[in-house]
């Protein structure tokens, strides 16, 4: 039996099936039978009923016409009781040349010279005289109902008579032609495609959620509360844009967007830089940068007294002395739970109207991972975001017990969250192996992050030593795996995250650090550590959801 492609074809007519079965039963083991081959080129769509490939004999493209077929100044057939004009020879010949051109253009054909291709018309139920012939169809290329018993032998002769001086296809040639005509260049599952689709859905949902800002149009002091993935940062930026450009009976306002972390500030700046210049707020950056624009001093990032006392006191004096045209109509604070009590004084003094100026605060109390505590000393109207738009359902469910309140997942389906028990191995070594696994699975390096909860990864230390802090955070947008610590990654995300629990969880705010770390992945999350650490820090619900 020949090689059949496909093995069990579906036929549109009984005549095609009858011819195929006769060839299937009569061809040799080295021959190939391809059925219902469709090809599109620059001229038109072609459909070849059957292609017969016989090594060292030839290749024949068949056009099969069932029912009553006859010649009367052109080829004719009866369809549904009505006579119709057909062009079987043109179909067979055009299909043959289209297949030949397609094969020879393919790089898999390589440097092979041209092989002979033949064509034929088969009419399994119509009869023609032995001396019937046309200028473009010799009788030996027309195989009628009387010829069916010897169809295989006739096709071999058909192929040999139509070589036209070209070489005959060898077994290797036939294998190459079959690979080109029916094989497909290998493709694979692309994990990035699904992530792109989920990101598109999340972006659309976040923009839909931005309608909440319409509720705040007549409010000037608002706190938007929401868990990880609820789109707070996107809303904060959208609000800054709307305040700056004005419209809808509202004058353009001089607005500032603040946050604590350098990484989030860099993200905000990059987003704002893509906007029309008339929509960009007057200031975007960290709390410290906010003061430095007025001349505030620099200090050691490890000096808590500088951050909690000296810097905010200095900034408060500088803000109070600002001329009115250097102050702001509104200040927007993202990840506001990071702000200390003392920081709010200079923020409010930077407003043109300290009592009535706009203050819009975006916060998640369960991401309060620093020892300092602070609340704005003014009344704020609370608005709550209770939908997770960014994380897959699997990731959302894994950290759900750590969220500030009951949240509902609107993210798409994704890979199962995996927990890797490090056993006696170094957690960082195991985490490095998981990064390699993610890259092997198809994630681009710029979509992968390794985050630690304890001491920093050696690559993070190396990059921080090479750059200053701001330079290190700019590497977050490089085309490479990012190595960071959960303390600096609030408000940021990557598609695939390996969270390395390389501390025992006994330090303060360990639960909050676990929550931040697990929620940084939008699509795939791997948690690496000791089961006891998960149980101690996350509690039984998180442990159960991680399969610990």
| Per-position DSSP letters for 349-361, written without gaps between them | HTBSSTTTSEEEE
**Residue 187 pLDDT:** 64
Per the confidence metrics, is the pTM higher than 0.85? no
User: Residue 193: which residues within 8 A CB-CB, separation 6 or more?
Assistant: none
Instruction: Record the tokens describing residue 417, joined without a space.
Output: 């969250």
Q: Which residues face 53 on adjacent strands? A: 32, 59
What's the per-residue H, E or C state across 316-345? HHHHHCCCHHHCECEEEECCHHHCCHHHHH
**Residue 210 pLDDT:** 77
Residue with tokens 């509360």, as numbered in its chain? 225
Q: Are 33 and 3 in contact (CB under 8 A)?
A: yes
Pairing assessment for the beta strands 358-363 and 330-333 based on DSSP bridges: parallel
E-strand stretches of 263-421:
283-286, 330-333, 358-363, 381-385, 387-388, 408-409, 418-421
d(CA 141, CA 356): 94
- C-alpha 438, offset from chain centre: 14
- Distances from the Cα of 238 to the Cαs of 213, 257, 350, 359, 360, in angstroms? 8, 11, 21, 15, 12
Q: Are 514 and 502 in contact (CB under 8 A)?
A: no
Name the nearest CA neighbour of 39 among 101, 113, 85. Answer: 101
**Residue 240 pLDDT:** 94
Q: What is the pLDDT along the chain (548 residues), one digit of tens a residue?
A: 999 999 999 998 999 999 999 999 999 999 999 999 999 989 899 999 999 999 999 999 999 999 999 999 999 998 888 899 999 999 999 999 999 999 999 999 999 999 999 999 999 999 999 999 999 999 999 999 999 999 999 999 999 999 999 999 999 999 999 999 987 666 667 888 888 888 888 888 777 777 778 777 788 999 999 888 888 999 999 999 999 998 767 799 999 999 999 999 999 999 999 999 999 999 999 999 999 999 999 988 778 889 889 999 999 999 999 999 999 999 999 999 989 999 999 999 999 999 999 999 999 877 765 555 678 899 999 998 888 888 999 999 999 998 877 888 888 899 999 999 999 999 999 999 999 999 999 999 999 999 999 999 999 999 999 998 899 999 999 999 999 999 899 889 999 999 999 998 788 889 999 999 999 999 999 999 999 999 999 999 999 999 99
Name the nearest CA neighbour of 366 among 347, 351, 388. Answer: 388
What is the number of helices (H) and of strands (E) in the chain?
18, 22
Largest CA distance in the chain: 111
User: Residue 135: which residues within 8 A CB-CB, separation 6 or more?
Assistant: none
Looking at residue 306, the DSSP 8-state letter turns out to be: I
């Amino acid at each position: 039996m020949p090689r059949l492609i496909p093995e069990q074809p579906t036929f549109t007519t009984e005549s095609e099936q009858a011819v195929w079965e006769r060839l299937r039963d009569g061809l040799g083991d080295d021959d190939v039978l391809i059925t219902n081959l469709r090809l599109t080129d620059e001229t038109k769509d072609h459909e070849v009923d059957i292609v017969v490939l016989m090594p060292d004999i030839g290749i024949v493209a068949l056009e099969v016409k069932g029912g009553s077929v006859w010649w009367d100044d052109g080829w004719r057939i009866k369809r549904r009781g009505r006579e119709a004009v057909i062009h079987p020879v043109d179909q067979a010949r055009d299909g043959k040349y289209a297949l030949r051109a397609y094969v020879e253009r393919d790089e898999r054909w390589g440097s092979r010279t041209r092989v002979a291709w033949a064509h034929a018309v088969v009419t399994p139920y119509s009869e023609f005289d032995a001396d019937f012939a046309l200028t473009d169809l010799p009788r030996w290329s027309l195989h009628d109902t009387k010829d069916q018993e010897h169809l295989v032998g006739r096709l071999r002769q058909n192929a040999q008579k139509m070589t036209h001086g070209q070489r005959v296809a060898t077994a290797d040639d036939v294998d190459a032609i079959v690979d080109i005509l029916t094989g497909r260049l290998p493709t694979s599952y692309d994990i990035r495609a699904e992530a792109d689709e989920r990101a598109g859905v999340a972006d659309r949902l976040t923009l839909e959620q931005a309608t909440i800002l319409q509720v705040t149009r007549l409010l000037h002091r608002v706190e938007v509360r929401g868990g990880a993935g609820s789109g707070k940062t996107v809303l904060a930026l959208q609000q800054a844009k709307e305040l700056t450009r004005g419209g809808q009976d509202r004058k353009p306002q001089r607005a500032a967007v603040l946050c604590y972390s350098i990484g989030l500030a860099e993200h905000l700046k990059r987003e704002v830089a893509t906007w029309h210049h008339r929509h960009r707020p007057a200031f975007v950056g960290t709390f410290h940068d906010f003061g430095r624009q007025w001349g505030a001093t620099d200090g050691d990032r490890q000096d808590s007294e500088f951050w909690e006392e000296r810097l905010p006191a200095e900034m408060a004096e500088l803000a109070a002395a600002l001329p009115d045209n250097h102050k702001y109509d509104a200040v927007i604070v993202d990840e506001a739970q990071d702000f200390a009590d003392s920081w709010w004084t200079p923020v409010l003094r930077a407003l043109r109207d300290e009592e009535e100026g706009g203050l819009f605060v975006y916060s998640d109390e369960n991401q309060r991972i620093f020892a300092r505590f602070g609340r704005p000393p003014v009344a704020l109207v609370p608005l709550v975001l209770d939908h997770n738009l960014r994380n897959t359902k699997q990731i959302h469910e894994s950290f759900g017990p750590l969220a500030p309140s009951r949240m509902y997942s609107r993210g798409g389906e994704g890979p199962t969250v995996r927990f890797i028990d490090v056993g006696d191995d170094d957690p960082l070594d195991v985490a490095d192996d998981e990064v390699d696994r993610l890259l092997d699975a198809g994630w681009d390096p710029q979509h992968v992050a390794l985050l630690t909860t304890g001491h920093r990864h050696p690559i993070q230390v190396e990059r921080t030593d090479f750059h200053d802090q701001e330079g290190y955070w700019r590497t977050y947008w490089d085309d490479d795996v990012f190595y960071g610590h959960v303390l600096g990654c609030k408000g940021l995300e990557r598609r695939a995250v390996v969270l390395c629990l390389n501390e025992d969880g006994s330090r303060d705010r360990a639960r909050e650090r676990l929550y931040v770390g697990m929620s940084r992945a939008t699509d795939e999350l791997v948690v690496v550590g000791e089961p006891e650490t998960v149980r101690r820090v996350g509690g039984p619900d998180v442990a159960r959801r991680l399969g610990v």
